[in-house]
């Protein structure tokens, strides 16, 4: 399998000891782009190089990614794997550098500027945005992954292997690969798959690697399925969802990176799914980054037990995180419960329709009961337009055939917002029979100030909201 190893710029060695792979302390792997896309997918705004300290600089391929549906823009993206320490050099190839910002700020990554080149050092895997002169629409996204230690054997009959290069389905180019039960799909670094991956009525599937799904109808569909893992891949500009989940359970989504810039191009949308883990993802989408619903289309059932953690959400339009608008009015409604968002950086929200604002939004419609939702350690940067919080029971005639039942037991802990652009947040039910009740804010801070009441937090509490508590 010579083609597997030629994608690396330096040799890669793994040591096998007592059943465990031991990754060398200092390692760097880069992935050249396929020759077929060198001109069509390149963005020359930046020249990016990486090296181990004291080593030789290695050039990265700067991919063009489309962002922001309001007025689609060209941003840049690079990716590589490393362990130990890596130095990154970024040359800005147009205009002079007036300022540099590397986000999320919580990572504490700082740079040194010399002329039109900045350098910075990473000592652990990160997904970062490098922004020059305050420009967030033509920025550079750097995805510095850890070293893979679970590469499958391409000769295994249960492995569907996409080597470096461009791949389309033989029967319907650009359409779909249907994945059978028990398979591992491996998309190697340097591979570009121009199709969606469909997991329908299957179980025990892994979709892993470092490669890319490019401009599919959807990225990955997981419907009526169980025990599906998606890990490590990049999804660039799907026409609709990055991950589309329906009536599935035990779904794990880890270390994926997503860009979208079209209408209805949500990030991760899950309908009637339970037992879900979303960890270490980067979602930059022109619609909801993560949305959790009950019934929709041909997916039925409650939505329970979701953990979303250690992630970055960037909504160029709509919500970074949205819960509850779709459900089943043919019965008493669905229950959406036991959802936790933890250790999240929200880098943007830009939504001019108040009906769809809220970095952290719960809009219960369609007889849904939404309860036991926990937001903890959420850091929110200043955004273009929108609200910090929107908790409502709604009867949205565009999407609903009935109002939500209730929103109960919502906990916000260690939430910080730094900025000036937030519109007034809203907490309110629909009427006396459809209430929002039991909302607690513990250590909510806006521009460093501890918020101990709704007025200080620029929050409107309506007449159909009860038991709203602020505490240290």
CA distance 183 to 209: 14
| Cβ–Cβ < 8 Å for 162, 5 | no
Quick one: pLDDT at residue 10? Answer: 37
Quick check: 243 pLDDT over 50?
yes
- Our CA angle for 255, 257, 263, nearest 5°, is 140
Quick one: pLDDT at residue 174? Answer: 58
Quick check: 22 pLDDT over 90?
no
For the chain, the domains span 2-145, 237-471
Which own/partner pairs from 204-207 qualify as long-range (CB within 8 Å, at least 24 positions apart)? 204/228, 205/179, 205/181, 205/229, 206/231, 207/179, 207/231, 207/233
Quick check: 199 pLDDT over 80?
yes
The 3-state DSSP class for residue 37 equals helix
Q: Which of 291, 208, 206, 211 is nearest to 250 (CA)?
A: 206
Residue tagged 């009526």 (tokens)? 224
Cα distances (Å, whole numbers) of residue 85 to 100, 101, 190, 304, 381: 22, 21, 22, 39, 28
Q: How confident is the model at residue 150 (pLDDT cuts 50, 70, 90)?
A: confident
Quick check: 3 pLDDT over 70?
no
pLDDT tens digits for 158-187?
999 999 999 999 866 558 999 999 999 999
Cα atoms in the 13 Å half-sphere on the side-chain side of 471: 9
Phi and psi dihedrals of 216, rounded to 5?
-80, 170
| Cβ–Cβ < 8 Å for 458, 470 | no
pLDDT tens digits for 404-428?
999 999 999 999 999 999 999 999 9
Quick check: 23 pLDDT over 80?
no
Mean pLDDT of the 101-128 span: 98
Mean pLDDT of the 6-18 span: 38
- Show Cβ contacts of residue 452 under 8 Å, excluding neighbours closer than 6 positions: 470, 471, 472
- Alpha carbon 167 to its chain centroid, in Å, reads 24
Quick check: 15 pLDDT over 70?
no
Quick check: 2 pLDDT over 50?
no
Q: Which of 184, 10, 155, 186 is nearest to 82 (CA)?
A: 10
Quick one: pLDDT at residue 5? Answer: 31
Kindly tell me the number of DSSP H helices and DSSP E strands found in the chain: 1, 45
Quick one: pLDDT at residue 11? Answer: 38
| Cβ–Cβ < 8 Å for 363, 396 | yes
Cα atoms in the 13 Å half-sphere on the side-chain side of 265: 28
Domain 2-145's class? mainly beta
Q: How confident is the model at residue 8 (pLDDT cuts 50, 70, 90)?
A: very low
pLDDT higher at 277 or 14: 277
What mean pLDDT is reported for the chain?
A: 94
Quick one: pLDDT at residue 419? Answer: 95
Quick check: 197 pLDDT over 90?
yes
- Show Cβ contacts of residue 73 under 8 Å, excluding neighbours closer than 6 positions: 66, 67, 137, 138, 261
Cα distances (Å, whole numbers) of residue 78 to 66, 134, 387: 14, 20, 31
Quick check: 21 pLDDT over 80?
no
Quick one: pLDDT at residue 395? Answer: 97
Quick one: pLDDT at residue 409? Answer: 98
Cα atoms in the 13 Å half-sphere on the side-chain side of 280: 14
Q: How confident is the model at residue 449 (pLDDT cuts 50, 70, 90)?
A: very high
CATH 2.160.20.10 fits 237-471, yes or no: yes
Can the peptide bond before residue 409 be classed as cis, meaning omega within 30 degrees of 0?
no
């Amino acid at each position: 399998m010579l083609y597997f190893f030629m994608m690396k710029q330096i040799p890669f060695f793994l040591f096998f000891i007592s059943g465990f792979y031991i990754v060398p302390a200092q390692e760097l792997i880069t992935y050249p782009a396929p020759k077929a896309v060198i001109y069509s997918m390149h963005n020359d705004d930046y020249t990016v190089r990486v090296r181990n300290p004291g080593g030789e600089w290695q050039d990265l391929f700067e991919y063009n990614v489309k962002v922001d549906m309001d007025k689609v823009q060209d941003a840049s993206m690079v990716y590589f794997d490393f362990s130990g320490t890596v130095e990154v050099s970024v040359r800005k190839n147009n205009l002079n550098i007036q300022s540099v910002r590397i986000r999320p700020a919580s990572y504490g990554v700082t740079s040194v500027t010399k002329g039109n080149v900045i350098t910075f050092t990473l000592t652990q895997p990160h997904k970062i945005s490098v922004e020059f002169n305050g420009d967030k629409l033509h920025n550079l996204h750097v995805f510095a992954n850890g070293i893979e230690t679970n590469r499958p054997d391409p000769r295994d009959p249960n492995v569907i292997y996409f080597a470096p290069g461009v791949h389309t389905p033989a029967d319907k180019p650009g359409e779909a690969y249907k994945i059978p039960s028990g398979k591992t799909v491996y998309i190697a670094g340097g591979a570009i798959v121009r199709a969606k991956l469909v997991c329908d009525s299957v179980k025990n599937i892994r979709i892993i690697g470092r490669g890319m799904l490019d401009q599919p109808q959807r990225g990955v569909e997981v419907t009526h399925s169980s025990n599906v893992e998606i890990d490590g891949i990049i999804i660039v500009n799907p026409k609709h969802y990055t991950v589309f989940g329906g009536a599935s359970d035990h779904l794990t989504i880890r270390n994926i990176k997503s860009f979208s810039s079209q209408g209805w191009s949500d990030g991760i949308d899950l309908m009637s799914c339970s037992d879900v883990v979303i960890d270490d993802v980067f979602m930059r989408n022109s619609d909801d980054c993560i949305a959790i619903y009950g019934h929709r289309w041909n997916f039925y059932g409650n939505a329970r037990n979701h953990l979303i953690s250690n992630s970055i959400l960037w909504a160029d339009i709509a919500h970074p995180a949205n819960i509850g608008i779709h459900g089943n009015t043919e019965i008493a409604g669905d229950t959406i419960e036991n959802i936790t968002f933890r250790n999240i950086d929200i880098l943007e929200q830009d939504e001019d329709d108040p009906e769809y604002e809220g970095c952290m939004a719960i809009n219960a419609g369609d007889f849904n009961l939404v309860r036991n939702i926990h937001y903890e350690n959420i850091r929110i940067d200043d955004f273009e337009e929108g609200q910090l919080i929107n908790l409502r029971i709604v009867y949205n005639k565009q999407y609903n055939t009935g109002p939500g039942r209730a929103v109960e037991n919502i906990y916000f802990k260690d939430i910080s917002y730094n900025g000036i652009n937030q519109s007034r947040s809203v907490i309110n039910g629909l009427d006396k029979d459809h209430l929002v009740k039991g909302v607690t804010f513990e250590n909510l801070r806006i521009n460093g100030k501890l918020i101990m009441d709704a007025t200080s937090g620029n929050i409107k509490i309506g007449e159909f909201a009860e038991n709203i508590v602020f505490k240290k």
